[in-house]
Amino acid sequence: MISYVRGELVQAMDTYAVLDVNGFGLRVFLTGRDLSALPPNGEEVRLHTYFLVKEDAMQLYGFLHPDDLEVYKLLLNVNGIGPKAAMGILSALSADDIRFAVLSGDEKTITKAPGIGKKTAQKLILELKDKFSLEEAFDKRLENAGSIPAGSGVMNDAKAEAVEALTALGYSNADALKAVKKAAVSEEMDTEAILKAALKKM
């Protein structure tokens, strides 16, 4: 119902911010990461929002980046994860971290979020694995890092397979991605050639 709100930041608290939107004071719940990234009071803020209506309350959840909102909605679809738990996960982990943790079955990373135990992490991985693709995860990480414009689809199948192979060899997702980015990759190279070039950069 409410896609985003834009207004003057009045106050930032532990779990929410108050925005003055045309004379209305809106309370918007934010992740810890977004709260720490807010500008000083009095400056304009735009938040991508999720409007939750319950029997006893109406709450607005906001995110500085639309990618976080997208992942937040997916987290809410996981059985046993409510709005506050989903915010806790996104406070502890970025949307990129969540995607890679799900795709690699890394429950240890997910349990870093407050209140998320091993069983919940396993359930989250199981229910969201089909919602993400490896290629999308790499494209999003590059996009969020400001390396490429949105939708350019720079990470092709061969590159994605090379990164997947590096993670299977024991390298972290971040290191594998950096190595492939540093390798001089041409369109003619297949997965094996990209992998060899990337290994030289490790």
List, for residues 133-178, the tens digit of each pLDDT value. 777 777 776 666 554 333 334 445 677 778 778 877 778 777 777 7
Question: Is residue 130 scored above 70 in pLDDT?
Answer: yes
Answer whether 60's CB lies under 8 Å from 5's CB: yes
Answer whether 70's CB lies under 8 Å from 76's CB: no
Give 105-127 pLDDT, tens digit per residue.
889 999 999 989 999 999 999 99
Q: What CA–CA distances, in Å, run from 26 to 18, 119, 146, 159, 173?
A: 5, 36, 30, 44, 39
- What's the mean pLDDT when you consider all of the chain? 85
